[in-house]
Amino acid sequence: MLQNKNKLDVVVIAIKRPEILRLCLETFKKNFLNQFNVRIIINVDPVGEENHSQRDIVNIAKEYFPNVVSRTPKKGNFSKAVYWGWSQVKTDFFFHLEDDWLLKSFIPAYRFQRKKSIKDIVSITFNISSNKKYPKVYENYHLKTFSLRPCIFRSKYIKEKLAGFKFDEDPEKQIAKNTTSKSFKNPKFILFGNDNEGRKIIDTGKKWKMKNAFSKWEYKSDNIVYKKSEGQDFFKAIFYAIKYWYFIRYWRLRYIYIYIYIYIDKVNIFKKID
């Protein structure tokens, strides 16, 4: 059961993009993870911005959470990164988080308690769009196929799926095509929230990939890792760089102002009490 201050392992899959990771950890810590006793399990593949090392990225994680277990392989492979992270998990439930997401608003831990008591539910995924697009299951919950968007996983299910895990296939797609496991013959993958829930997460990776001319791997490949594109058009490169710069600054400023406002509001409340 997920409750405040319970231990929670958080598997973070990252590459060398410090701004993206800071925004990710900043928003998820303040809006969700600070309710738990968190242990970060982070894999940093040697891909991304050349002026930063894998150790730089691990150190950023340590700025936000003191308890960090890390892996910095010499060769990148997304499937191996996911496998390693999941195999380190010790808590009954864990949070899967890739570095290129931000969490828009606060999510209280108590809203997961009843959902996690239903055995067939093996994951609760944070929604990127309206829940109304999906069919209902278990009253107001919305059915979703297996996904690696930010989500709470039932560890027993994931541990069972590690048997037969393939390193030359995309992890999300290989599990989605065969979701059953030994203990879960009819696993349910649901979205967080009710009918009127707005989207909670935003993908920050797309703009970073366009700015830095990276493309994603094929579904099945010997090299499951981001690939650098060659010969990007000069004007497109400038356009994507400006777009990325404004995107990152907007969200960082937004969160700075939000938390300044909350702090001032709390100070005023205490003054009234005094």
What is the DSSP pairing of strand 151-154 with strand 121-125?
A: antiparallel
State the pLDDT at residue 263: 46
Is 83 inside any structural domain? yes
User: What is the C-alpha separation between 183 and 163, in angstroms, rounded?
Assistant: 13
Cα of 1 vs its chain's centroid, Å: 20
* One-letter amino acid of 249: R
Cβ contact 79:169 at 8 Å: yes
Instruction: Assign residue 188 the CATH number of its domain.
Output: 3.90.550.10
State the pLDDT at residue 211: 77
**Intervals of the chain under pLDDT 70:** 1-4, 114-117, 138-141, 144, 213, 215, 217-224, 226-237, 239-241, 255-274
Cβ contact 52:16 at 8 Å: yes
Tokens representing 23 are 């925004």
Is 164 inside any structural domain? yes
The β-bridge partners of 68 are 40
Is 258 inside any structural domain? no
Is 243 inside any structural domain? no
Cα of 91 vs its chain's centroid, Å: 17
Is 270 inside any structural domain? no
Tokens representing 180 are 């059953």
State the pLDDT at residue 20: 93
Instruction: Give the three-state DSSP class for 63.
Output: helix
Burial class of 119 by CB neighbour count within 10 A (0 to 12, 13 to 18, 19+): exposed
Sheet holding 136-137, edge to edge: 68-71, 37-48, 7-16, 93-98, 151-154, 121-125, 188-191, 141-143, 136-137
Is 256 inside any structural domain? no
Cβ contact 99:13 at 8 Å: yes
pTM (predicted TM-score)? 0.85
Q: Which domain holds residue 170?
A: 7-228
Q: Whose CA is closest to 87, among 191, 192, 144, 167?
A: 167
Kindly state the DSSP code that residue 179 receives in the 8-state scheme: -
Alpha-helix residue ranges (DSSP H) falling in 74-218? 78-87, 113-116, 155-161, 171-176, 205-212
Instruction: Give the three-state DSSP class for 161.
Output: helix
User: Looking at the 3D structure of the chain, how many domains does it have?
Assistant: 1
Is 265 inside any structural domain? no
Is 62 inside any structural domain? yes
State the pLDDT at residue 123: 93
